[in-house]
Structure 1
Amino acid sequence: MPRTLTDEQRDLVDAIGRFCRSECGTKARRDELTGHGTEPHNQELYAKMAELGWLGIAVPEEYGGSGLGMRDLCLFLEETAYGRAPISGFGTTIISAAAYEKYGSEEQKRKVLAGVVQGRVEAVSMSEPGAGSDVGALVCRAEPVEGGYVVNGQKTWCSNAHIADHILLVARTSRDGSKHDGLTQFMVPTDTEGLKISGIDTMGGREVNDLYFSDCFLPDSAVVGTPGQGWKQLMAGLNLERMMLAALMLGTARRAFDDTVDYVRQREQFGRPIGSFQALKHRIADMATELECARLLLDDVAETIDAEPGRVFPREASMAKLKCTELAKHVTLEGMQMLGGYGYATEYGMESLLRSTVVSTVYGGTSEIQRDIIGKTYGL
């Protein structure tokens, strides 16, 4: 089914496709850019995208961006994921930038938002060893002192902290009220004294980190928004985070699907292409149908958000995140099965697509949490 795009959106999609084929279109080139898959972000490639003006797609024009909406942002994310561009820093950067845009001081906005357009990376830190899905259980403490706050504690699973200029930290400044009260957001330069960033080795390469705060002083000017209102500020950004993850995984699923179809058309066994066997043909048909459903859902939710940018759409955004991430994991697993032994070989790339999708049903709110949110919107 053809996609309904404006001329500008179609030009953007086409340009991204050409760029990715030219800059990272081969396995050898991607290995060169990513240290054989161990570094999912390449700053040189990222800087080229900045020069093209793409990184500021969702940044307001007054800060040097294009000021476009959710649909355009999702298209960018989907197409760069389909093209396998190693720019993992973009996701956390835009999530952080949105928080600064909405709640930050003018000085914070100009520093961060202008940096996004120029190709700087930002990170956001919420999770702790004892607090993942339950954000209200955070214990990393920012103690108020004269002129600012002193932070002590550990954060974990912080994506891109090691390549970021700043970390948008969520810490506890008070224990008054409910567990969701007393959380505050801070802008923390990554070279701040008392902050140690330690990488966590994962099957996806070097992307996430532990953060250790030891008597780390932050001035009052580091507060983003209103002290004690960090939970409400986080909730206001859920549309963006979930839609971004959905778009990235839809692009990855499309890539895995197309690679699988190419393989089963060419691979012959028993004297004919394996894709001609009903067992595979029907699975391909099912995946194609599910991909179309996911695309229509994502496009519809993105357009709904653009029509009412001030509203939060917890049901719809969670549906998009749930559908696209679960589908991406399914498609890459099916792709690995259909490629047989070659699915495990790094030469064909399906194994790296699988590695990038299996975690997508965990980060940004697990699939179980997304289902719980959707259920709650029906009064359950």
Structure 2
Amino acid sequence: MGSRLTEEQSDFVAAIRDFARRECGTREQRDALTEGGRTAHDPGLYGRLAGLGWLGVCLPEEYGGAGGGLADACLFLEETAYGMVPAGGFITTVIAAKAYERFGTETQRREVLGGAVRGDVLSIAMSEPGAGSDVGALRCKAERLPDGDWLIEGQKTWISSAHHARNILLVARTGPDKHGGLTMFHLPVGTPGVEIRGIETMGGDEVNDVFLTGVRLPADATVGQVGDGWKQLMAGLNYERLFLAANMLGLARRAFDDALAHISEREQFGRPVGSFQALRHRIADLATEIECTRLLIRDVAADCDAQPDRLFPREASMAKLKATETAKRTALEGMQMMGGYGYATEYDMERHLRAAVVSTVYGGTSEIQRDLIGKTYGL
């Protein structure tokens, strides 16, 4: 696909942009939908996206989806991020949904994928207080009981969208082997013993602690095979990293356009500040980096769609690394170019920065991505 979109994809992008302009086009609209920037997800607006059929963009038609590919989902994420559409639950939903699609039972797929298309939010719970980048160190334990049910005890942390979710895809330890002892579970949020507590962050209402105390799940709650959780997680890396990259590409584009608009209008010393070489060269560098990021994401997405059973660990990590670092740099440079206005909450740039700066941490830090890329070269 490269940088070119099909006619259908171009129409899809145009429709998303029109929706974003109508529903989130003003600061007043966005503040009303996000509690003044405190939350990244508005259930009412998310329901309208479901009504348009967009939430199932890359889910199979037999479960109500549109049957599109990763490239289509990346376009949706890029454009909703650019339009500042508060649909923050979509990323975790589509990441978890793809795991259910590949490894879940038919009953699980019909419930979970169908629900995602209709507007249900999914969350995925891996990280723990002692297991972040080293997911294989997690200690949340799932023990099989004599009647075949599972008893789960433990804590998860930094879990995105759990407070909006209907179901959580839980990764727990079922055996002593570091990687071979992990299993995925289907966990309805209303299950007795599940407690969700929000974690205050500078990004607002985003992540949570999830406490699991005496949680009982039925024998058929496993998603995939017992002990295959690690392999199943690795199989989903293309999706997770590409989706996060596409989201940050949209944010980088928005931060760039906001900065460009400001420096084109703001005058000092009798002319627009953007006409000074120092800022003009910054804009040139950022525009080049954003374009490189866009081409990389679209190329990797096209490769993944063409070879859905193949892992692209190097390319997916490159996309995530490049997009998140570019978004962070663009927001920082945007704030610098806007001066005090970039720091003021009256403008969106400080919001862009808060959203961008954490992107180099979640979903695998930039340091982890670089390490993974290096390993693919035999280092």
Instruction: State the match for 1:246 in structure 2.
Output: 245
Task: Give the letter for the 1:166 counterpart.
Answer: N
Q: Deviations over 1:305-337 (max 9, x none)?
A: 111011000000000000000000000000000
Instruction: State the match for 2:65 in structure 1.
Output: 65
Instruction: State the match for 1:44 in structure 2.
Output: 44
Superposition pairs for residues 1-380 of structure 1, below 5 Å? 3-145=3-145, 146-175=147-176, 177=177, 179-380=178-379
Residues in 2 aligned to 1:214 and 1:265: alpha-carbon distance in whole angstroms: 56
Residues in 2 aligned to 1:272 and 1:156: alpha-carbon distance in whole angstroms: 50
Task: Give the letter for the 1:311 counterpart.
Answer: R
Aligned identity (percent) is 64
Residues in 1 aligned to 2:99 and 2:300: alpha-carbon distance in whole angstroms: 21
Residue 170 of structure 2 aligns to a residue whose secondary structure is strand
Residue 158 of structure 1 aligns to a residue whose secondary structure is strand
Query: Post-superposition shift, 1:3?
Result: 4.0
Residues in 2 aligned to 1:128 and 1:320: alpha-carbon distance in whole angstroms: 26
Task: Give the letter for the 1:4 counterpart.
Answer: R
Task: Give the letter for the 2:104 counterpart.
Answer: G
Q: Deviations over 1:121-174 (max 9, x none)?
A: 000000000000001100011111022111111110111111100110000011
Residues in 1 aligned to 2:216 and 2:368: alpha-carbon distance in whole angstroms: 34
Task: Give the letter for the 2:46 counterpart.
Answer: Y
Q: Deviations over 1:47-87 (max 9, x none)?
A: 11111110000110000101101111111110000000000
Residues in 2 aligned to 1:3 and 1:10: alpha-carbon distance in whole angstroms: 12
Residue 156 of structure 1 aligns to a residue whose secondary structure is strand
Residues in 1 aligned to 2:256 and 2:134: alpha-carbon distance in whole angstroms: 34
Query: Post-superposition shift, 1:248?
Result: 0.2
Query: Post-superposition shift, 1:346?
Result: 1.4
Residues in 2 aligned to 1:92 and 1:67: alpha-carbon distance in whole angstroms: 19
Task: Give the letter for the 1:78 counterpart.
Answer: E
Residues in 1 aligned to 2:101 and 2:151: alpha-carbon distance in whole angstroms: 25
Q: Deviations over 1:16-56 (max 9, x none)?
A: 00000000111111000010011110011111111111000
Residue 100 of structure 1 aligns to a residue whose secondary structure is helix
Residues in 1 aligned to 2:301 and 2:213: alpha-carbon distance in whole angstroms: 41
Residues in 2 aligned to 1:264 and 1:327: alpha-carbon distance in whole angstroms: 20
Residues in 2 aligned to 1:357 and 1:335: alpha-carbon distance in whole angstroms: 12
Q: Deviations over 1:333-358 (max 9, x none)?
A: 00000110001111111000000000
Residues in 1 aligned to 2:212 and 2:65: alpha-carbon distance in whole angstroms: 33
Q: Deviations over 1:87-106 (max 9, x none)?
A: 00000000110010000011
Residues in 1 aligned to 2:9 and 2:196: alpha-carbon distance in whole angstroms: 39
RMSD: 0.8
Residues in 1 aligned to 2:3 and 2:30: alpha-carbon distance in whole angstroms: 29
Residues in 1 aligned to 2:169 and 2:94: alpha-carbon distance in whole angstroms: 12
Task: Give the letter for the 2:337 counterpart.
Answer: M
Query: Post-superposition shift, 1:200?
Result: 0.4
Residues in 2 aligned to 1:181 and 1:148: alpha-carbon distance in whole angstroms: 20
Residues in 2 aligned to 1:169 and 1:289: alpha-carbon distance in whole angstroms: 40
Q: Deviations over 1:160-189 (max 9, x none)?
A: 1111001100000111x4x11110100011
**Do the aligned partners of 2:3 and 2:298 also contact (CA within 8 Å) in 1?**
no
Residue 14 of structure 1 aligns to a residue whose secondary structure is helix
State the TM-score, normalizing by the size of structure 1: 0.98
Task: Give the letter for the 1:333 counterpart.
Answer: L
State the TM-score, normalizing by the size of structure 2: 0.99
Residue 369 of structure 1 aligns to a residue whose secondary structure is helix
Residues in 1 aligned to 2:123 and 2:276: alpha-carbon distance in whole angstroms: 47
Residues in 2 aligned to 1:87 and 1:74: alpha-carbon distance in whole angstroms: 14
Aligned length: 377
**Do the aligned partners of 2:249 and 2:323 also contact (CA within 8 Å) in 1?**
yes
Residues in 1 aligned to 2:222 and 2:315: alpha-carbon distance in whole angstroms: 31
Residues in 2 aligned to 1:30 and 1:280: alpha-carbon distance in whole angstroms: 29
Query: Post-superposition shift, 1:240?
Result: 0.1
For structure 1, the 5+ residue unaligned runs are none
Residues in 2 aligned to 1:70 and 1:105: alpha-carbon distance in whole angstroms: 22
Residues in 2 aligned to 1:292 and 1:208: alpha-carbon distance in whole angstroms: 31
